[in-house]
């Protein structure tokens, strides 16, 4: 089962995703996608590690800033070879993973195309993963339009990534002020709209 958890910065989405994973699984694999660029980022990463350790839940942390698809496929293959169910996995977060690839391809003329290919591969890996898979992402399009091209490209790609992954996940949660709301069960469907209120052509 794949679950997407989204929200703004400091919305409580990561804490909710961890609680969601711990609620139904005896142990889990935590895939961290961040690159440590400076001391402030290192302090953030260390703090998150300590918080996971203090939870008492047996997280197995893997750091993978790029090859997320390959890692998911390897975890599933290892479980199959061992005759065990695919492990529960929490990925935090997809927007950092997207940032890593966008910066790697930044100098390429077709950077957006190359990143979109990675997004397609990720959607396929998420769709085919047999265990519980919880993906944390960010809503980045609710603020002002970035004034520089790379920022606008990131905003657009992040929006497309979230839409694509939401379409292949069974549940999608929006977390605001620490309050999670499941969206898919509340989604409005055009095909259920009464015919009497449909707009005539």
CA 110 to chain CA mean position, Å: 24
Element of type H or E holding 134 = strand 133-136
Please list, in sequence order, all residues whose beta carbon lies within 8 angstroms of the beta carbon of residue 5, skipping any fewer than 6 positions away. 13, 14, 16, 17, 20, 134, 135, 136, 137, 172, 173, 175, 180
48 is catalytic: yes
User: Among 48, 49, 104, 155, which one carries the catalytic annotation?
Assistant: 48
DSSP assignment of 45-74: HHHHHHHHHHTT--EEEEE-SS-HHHHHHH
Give the DSSP H/E element, type plus range, for residue 103: helix 94-104
Q: CA angle, corner 30, sides to 29 and 33, nearest 5?
A: 135
- Where in the sequence numbering do the catalytic residues fall? 48
């Amino acid at each position: 089962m794949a679950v997407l958890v989204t929200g703004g910065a400091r919305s409580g989405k990561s804490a909710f995703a961890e609680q969601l994973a711990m609620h139904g699984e005896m142990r889990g694999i935590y895939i961290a996608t961040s690159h440590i660029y400076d001391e402030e980022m290192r302090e953030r990463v260390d703090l998150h590690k300590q918080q996971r350790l203090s939870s008492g839940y047996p997280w197995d942390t893997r750091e993978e800033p790029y090859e997320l698809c390959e890692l998911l496929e390897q975890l599933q293959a290892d479980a199959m070879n061992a005759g065990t169910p695919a492990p529960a996995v929490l990925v935090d977060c997809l927007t950092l993973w997207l940032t890593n690839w966008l910066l790697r391809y930044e100098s390429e003329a077709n950077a957006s195309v190359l990143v979109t290919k990675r997004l397609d591969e990720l959607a396929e890996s998420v769709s085919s993963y047999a265990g519980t898979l919880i993906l944390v992402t960010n809503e980045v399009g609710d603020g002002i339009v970035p004034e520089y091209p790379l920022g606008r490209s990131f905003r657009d790609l992040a929006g497309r990534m979230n839409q694509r992954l939401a379409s292949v996940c069974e549940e999608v949660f929006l977390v605001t002020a620490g309050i999670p709301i499941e969206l898919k069960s509340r989604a409005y469907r055009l095909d259920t709209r009464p015919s009497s209120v449909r707009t005539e052509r």
